[in-house]
Structure 1
Amino acid sequence: MSSSALAKTQMRGLLAKRLRFHIVGAVLVSLGAAAFYKFAVAEPRKKACADFYRNYDSMKDFEAMRKAGIFQSAK
């Protein structure tokens, strides 16, 4: 009598059901991580590089390094 009160365990399709749930979760987490990286790391890095090279004078930098004695061939 007490055994009929217990619910039957699901055996068929259990793996597929759990995989579907976990795959959807993994896709959502990975998309969130990719969006976070893009907007928190990649975009500020691109902006910083663009700002640096907007006013960068390579000859002025070369002269400063030459005067500091970094180069052996340019005196």
Structure 2
Amino acid sequence: MAIKRTITLNFKTSDDKTLPASFDVNDGESTFDIWKKLPGNAAKTEQQFITEQKGTPGAPGASIVSVSVQVKENP
């Protein structure tokens, strides 16, 4: 039986802000599998996934200086 987990990331920026991100995962799912489940991605290819991860250059701004990770097992 797969273990369900909630992953919480807190990104700390150089301008002292915290940017939280949280998502649920199951053992055995890859990042690509999870991405395919998001709206609009079902028919996309692995190459499109890789291309979208790179993104486009943005304006200079705050840098990520640290990340804290919390993993919570769900019943």
TM-score when scaled to structure 2? 0.18
Larger Rg: 1
Query: Relative contact order, CA 8 A, sep 6+: which one is greater?
Result: 2
Structure with the bigger percentage of helix: 1
Structure with the bigger percentage of strand: 2
